[in-house]
Amino acid sequence: MRISLWRRELDRESKLIEQARASGLTYRPEELVNGDTPKQLLARCRFALMKYESQLTDKNQWLRLRVAFHRYPELERAFIHAQRLRSIFNHKSRDLAEQELDDWIHQTRSYGHETFASAANSIRWHKETILNFFDNRATNASAESFNARIKLFRANQKGVRDTTFFLFRLSKLYA
């Protein structure tokens, strides 16, 4: 959402620059309350949009988000919707999390944003495996990390010709 808004602002600014040049004037970008231009605002609020609201301790982040939400209400709706999905994983009960997840998927269908719809479809198809997280609050992140290490090791060796020697080296390195 933020990126599409940023691209829209880029296009708008390009048109304004062309109009200013055609009329022989110098283009001065619009400056918002916090001193950012609309392009800068959307670029700089990137990290704040990825945090929980409780993690926003910097006053500049809060101000930047408030200005962005005032100017782009659809960005605020997307932020709230994403925050709701993140908050589901704080639940202790699998049943409650499942109900919240179903509600989030249902809301996403009426939301109408393509990216959220794609995420909702993926969550719907993998719901049971996602809900397994709530059984013992564990993920397979360590296994995925180890797989990434193996792939990197294999890439650094420029492929594998002798599989048994490759497995031997892996066992010595990661044992």
Count of domains forming the chain: 3
User: Are both 114 and 150 inside the same structural domain?
Assistant: no
Top-confidence residue, 106 or 175: 106
pLDDT tens string 14-66 = 999 999 999 999 999 999 998 899 999 999 998 889 888 778 888 888 888 99
User: Are both 25 and 51 inside the same structural domain?
Assistant: yes
- Find where tokens 């709230």 sit: 80
User: Are both 100 and 168 inside the same structural domain?
Assistant: no
Decide: 56 and 66 in contact? Cβ < 8 Å. no
In sign, the C-alpha dihedral spanning 79, 44, 73, 66 is: positive
- Find where tokens 């022989």 sit: 24
Q: Range of 42's domain? A: 1-86
User: Are both 4 and 82 inside the same structural domain?
Assistant: yes
CA 110, CA 108: separation in Å to the nearest integer? 5
DSSP 112: -
In this prediction the pTM is: 0.74
User: Are both 148 and 115 inside the same structural domain?
Assistant: no
pLDDT at residue 73 in the model: 93
pLDDT at residue 169 in the model: 83
User: Are both 72 and 36 inside the same structural domain?
Assistant: yes
User: Are both 23 and 102 inside the same structural domain?
Assistant: no
User: Are both 12 and 42 inside the same structural domain?
Assistant: yes
- Cα–Cα distance list, 22 to 9, 17, 29, 106, 168 (Å): 20, 9, 16, 49, 69
- Find where tokens 């719809």 sit: 117
Amino acid at 49: L
